[in-house]
Amino acid sequence: MGYNSGFNATTGSYNVGIGNNAIGLGVLTGDKNTAVGIQAGYDLTSGNHNVMMGHNAGVNVTTGTYNTILGASAGDVLTTGSNNIIIGKEAAASAAGVSNEITLGNASITDVRIPGVGFYIDGGNVGIDIASPRAPLHVAPQHGASDAINVLISQYRPNIVLEDLSGSAVDFQFFVESNVLEIRHGDASTDTKLASEAMSIDSSGTVTATAYEGNGSALTGVMGFGADIGGSVDLNTYTTNGYFHQNANSNASSGSNYPVALAGMLAVQADGNMVYQKYQTYNGGGSYQRTKYSSTWYAWDKIRDSGNDAVAAAGGGGSDEIFWENGQNVTTNYTITNGKNAMSAGPITINSGVTVTVGTGETWTVV
């Protein structure tokens, strides 16, 4: 119907052409085509089961089949492709022979909206239940407090890759396997599991990593390194978890509540109203420990070991336990532990320049 509509139709059957030159040029042998509009389906030959509506809709289709083309000059690139849906003014297929493609709108269309299901595309950004997405993928927040899942990936060995396109940058991947979340790095251009594992977290909460940077002082519940202890500092003020270094004997001397006036490392562990301190001297002179309960600090005790065993078990020949032994020369400054008395078997020589400090109310007996 219309000037030159179906002008060259020969053996084709069940075709409908409405409009000036609709299916007007090609030697039509195809069946069951519908073309409505000026020059709609103009070049159609052996193509069949096509629907073309609009001025110049599918104007260059020849042998393509099962195409649906709606709009002025829609699908004008398509020639031999099949099973395409092309809708909109000047909506163009990606190639003349492309098949199984959906094209909505022309290059001027920048937004796609399906309000009923909350799906939006705005300038290349995809919004889920948000009409103006601000990122390539923007998922709207849940309405009110909710533990509902926002994004769900259901897959065997699910993973997400973050590909950094800036030069020779390293790419990262979140990869789940055997109840372990791995953070991997490598080259994402391989389109597979990245080569190297940086760290992992298993289902029990155990974190495994190849390196740790920083002193951990900002972490809670973890023994990290805090700031160095300065001069004139009271160790009673250290009641939070951590390791604290005293790097000068003079600072220890000017401070208070040290077990000895020596540089060393203070370790603190706290739980509720209980605090546990351990002080290890820098020169191998020994380690000390004390505790605090509620508001009361208890005296330092020296930790006895093979190098500091002033109260070693008695020895002797065979199974005898007769003799206690101690050294004869004091070679390093020593302070009797606060609130303690000391005893040595003499004679004892105190080397030149070495000091033994006996506090008020304490005694050192040499027998």
- Confidence label for 282 from pLDDT (cuts 50, 70 and 90): very high
Q: Write down which residue in 252, 280, 303 finishes a domain.
A: 303
- Average pLDDT score, the chain: 88
Give the residue, 195 or 309, on which the prediction is more confident.
195
Position 55 in a domain: yes
Backbone φ and ψ of 249, nearest 5°: -60, -40
Same domain, 2 and 101: yes
pLDDT at 76 over 90: yes
Whether residue 104 sits in one domain with residue 7 = yes
- H/E stretch holding 250 reads helix 249-254
Per-residue pLDDT of 206-218, as tens digits, reads: 888 877 776 666 6
Query: So what's the pLDDT on residue 221?
Result: 63
Residues 6+ apart with CB under 8 A from 306: none
Range of the domain at 166: 159-209
Q: Does one domain contain both 135 and 40?
A: no
Tens digits of per-residue pLDDT, 120-135?
888 888 888 888 888 8
Mean pLDDT of all residues in 265-269: 95
pLDDT at 223: 74
- pTM of the predicted structure, to 2 decimals: 0.50
Closest CA to 36 of 26, 25, 50: 50
Higher pLDDT, 287 or 150: 287
**Could you tell me which residue, 19 or 169, shows the higher pLDDT?**
19
Return d(Cα 172, Cα 97) in angstroms, integer: 38
DSSP annotation string for 193-233: S-SEEEEEEETT--EEES---S--TT-SSS--B-PPP-SS-
What is the rounded average pLDDT of the residues 172-197?
89
Instruction: Say if CB 120 and CB 126 are below 8 A apart.
Output: yes
- Residues 84 and 64 placed together within one structural domain of the fold: yes
Confidence grade of residue 222 (pLDDT, cut at 50, 70, 90)? low
Domain count, the chain: 5
User: Same structural domain for residues 281 and 329?
Assistant: no
And the tokens for 1? 């119907």
> Average pLDDT for residues 64-76, to the nearest whole number?
96
Residue 143 has pLDDT above 70, yes or no: no
Does residue 171 lie in a domain region? yes
Candidate from 46-50, 139-143, 233-237 with smallest mean pLDDT: 139-143
Query: Are 61 and 13 contained in the same domain?
Result: yes
Residue 216 has what pLDDT?
A: 63
DSSP 3-state of 80: coil
pLDDT at 149 over 90: no
Please tell me the distance from the alpha carbon of residue 187 to that of residue 83, in angstroms, as a whole number. Answer: 37
H-helix or E-strand containing 49? none
Q: Which helix or strand (DSSP H or E) is residue 253 part of?
A: helix 249-254
Q: Please tell me whether residue 208 adopts helix, strand or coil conformation.
A: strand
**Can you say whether residue 283 is alpha, beta or left, with left for phi > 0 and alpha for psi between -120 and 50 degrees?**
alpha
Do 1 and 104 fall into the same domain?
yes
Q: Is residue 221 part of a domain?
A: no
| pLDDT recorded at residue 320 | 77
Highest mean pLDDT: which range of 188-197, 247-256, 296-305: 247-256
What one-character DSSP code corresponds to residue 225? B
For residue 303, what are the contacts with CB-CB under 8 A and spacing of at least 6? 278, 286, 287, 288, 289
Q: Bridge partners of 127? A: 120, 138
Reading the block at residue 19, the tokens are 């409009």
10-23 average pLDDT score: 92
On whether residue 77 sits in a domain, the answer given is yes
Write out pLDDT tens, residues 320-350: 777 888 889 999 898 888 888 989 999 999 9
Q: Looking at the domain assignment, is residue 39 inside a domain?
A: yes
Determine if residue 6 is left, alpha or beta; phi over 0 gives left, psi from -120 to 50 gives alpha, anything else beta.
Answer: left
Whether 322 and 333 share a structural domain: yes
Q: Are 275 and 269 in contact (CB under 8 A)?
A: yes
The full DSSP string for 118-178 is TEEEETTEEEES-SS-SSSEEEPPPSSS----SS----SS-EEEE---STTPPEEEEEEET
The pLDDT value given to residue 313: 62
What is the distance between the alpha carbons of residues 22 and 58, in angstroms, rounded to a whole number?
10
Residue in 124, 34, 51 with CA at minimum distance from that of residue 86? 51
